Amino acid sequence: MPELTFADPTERDDLGAFVARAVRLDGQCAVRLRGRDAGLIDAWVATPFDVLATRTVRGTVQPGDVTVSGNELLAALAVVRGDRVDPGRPRDLLWRSALPPEASWQLVDQLPARVVSELADRGLAVARENVGPTGNPPAALLDQTVLTVTGDGLEVKVPLRCLFAMAGMGFLGASDADEQVRVTATDAWLRIDARYGAVVRRRHALLPLLV
């Protein structure tokens, strides 16, 4: 059976807060847990905004790459107060998203967290006025570019859906006046890191296969 081991109780609580946000956004979400060197665990979820969200905590996971139910993991983290937690049975078939590479990221720029939060708030206000028939904002609105960040020879366009994912996951809470949000990128991926986690999305749509 899978097992999580935490270096400190605060790490378990941090993961619990991340999973709780993910379950609130999608009650049927899956959480992918991947171990890294130096005793770190990367937790990944696919948000309803077609954006990945991730948070890193100190600890180990066995096996080193496993997907579990968000609900089962949240219940285990809430009930078990020790440093070892059974996250639930493996559900690897539930994970359908590609993950970005661990290396080759370039720092594009750092932005004031306050500015990013304000942009997200404005976007949410516009989305409430433009709800589609399914109750969700139209894809055209979510795909609108709200930020263009340049640096290190790169120009990165940030769509509104990335800020929605950050707000929904609680990454854009109250922040200090000097707090920064870091934008990094590879040729294919965009990543935005805030204090409580990061969102990741492909910079370009995948081309369909020719038949």
pLDDT at 190: 97
Pair of tokens at residue 82: 């020790």
Residue 121 identity (one-letter amino acid): D
Contact 22, 31 (CB under 8 A): yes
C-alpha to C-alpha distance for 196 and 172, rounded to whole angstroms: 8
Is this structure's pTM higher than 0.85? yes
Measure the CA–CA gap between 156 and 145, rounded to whole angstroms: 10
Q: Look at residue 132 in the predicted model and tell me its pLDDT.
A: 64
pLDDT for 32-87, tens place per residue?
999 998 899 999 999 999 999 999 999 999 999 999 999 999 999 999 878 899 99
CB atoms within 10 A of CB 42: 18
Residue-level pLDDT at 172: 83
Q: What is the pLDDT of residue 211?
A: 46
- State the average pLDDT for the chain: 91
Q: Do residues 177 and 114 lie in contact, with contact meaning Cβ atoms separated by under 8 Å?
A: yes
Q: How many CA atoms lie within 13 A of 130 on its CB side?
A: 12
- The pLDDT, as a whole number, for residue 137 is 77
Delineate the domains of the chain, giving CATH numbers in brackets: 3-94 (3.10.150.10), 106-202 (no CATH)
Q: What is the C-alpha to C-alpha distance for residues 95 and 78, in angstroms, rounded to an integer?
A: 23
The stretches in the chain having pLDDT less than 70 are 132-136, 173-177, 205-211
| Residue recorded with tokens 């409580």 | 196
In the prediction, which pLDDT does 128 show?
Answer: 79
Query: Which residue type, as a one-letter code, is found at position 200?
Result: V
